[in-house]
Amino acid sequence: MPMQEGTFIAPGYPEETADGPASPQDQRAPDVYAANCPTRQLLDRVADKWSVLILTTLGNGEMRFNALKRRIDGISQKMLSQTLRSLERDGLVLRHVVPTVPVTVSYAISPLGRELLDALQAMIDWAERRMVVVAQAQQIYDARERELADIWN
């Protein structure tokens, strides 16, 4: 596919050639700032609140679906199912099916997912430690916005 003059192909994803996608050796290094970078898609997954909560919960050991749902307050059955499926697809969660009646399904964090745990726990720890400061900043911002709205109305 010919490029138009001035067209920029952002690094981070393979360029198309006349014969189809570029070969792996022709691909550029990932660049999370590029719109179509696969790294950005992975960051979207691992930074999602439900993914973080599921992965950190499974970091404590294998769990069945309903135990996960009870542990992660506020997650719907549909969202838990979708997120588990996505995490399994990404290789971050392992699904174990035992052929019983009814079928028993449990989930565990994969070795790849376990690599993320320190970073995720650090993020959770920071959020818990700094939430008071963030709440104060939000109150100051909201008060300032109300004052400006009063002036303009």
In order along its 153 residues, the chain shows pLDDT tens digits of 444 444 444 444 455 445 555 555 556 788 888 888 888 888 888 889 999 999 999 999 999 999 999 999 999 999 999 999 999 999 999 999 989 888 899 999 999 999 999 999 999 999 999 999 999 999 999 999 999 888 887
Measure CA 86 to chain center: 10
Phi and psi (nearest 5°) for 33?
Answer: -85, -10
pLDDT, residue 4, reads 45
Residue 22, C-beta contacts closer than 8 angstroms, at least 6 positions apart:
14, 15, 16
Residue 32, C-beta contacts closer than 8 angstroms, at least 6 positions apart:
12, 39, 40, 43
pLDDT, residue 22, reads 56
DSSP letter at 4 equals P
pLDDT, residue 149, reads 87
Amino acid occupying residue 144: R
Integer Cα distance of 117 and 56 in angstroms: 6
Please report, for the chain, the start and end positions of each structural domain, with discontinuous segments joined by +: 48-152
Distances (CA, A) of 82 to 14, 29, 88, 89: 28, 30, 10, 11
**CATH classification of 48-152 is 1.10.1740.10, yes or no?**
no
Strand, coil or helix: 93: strand
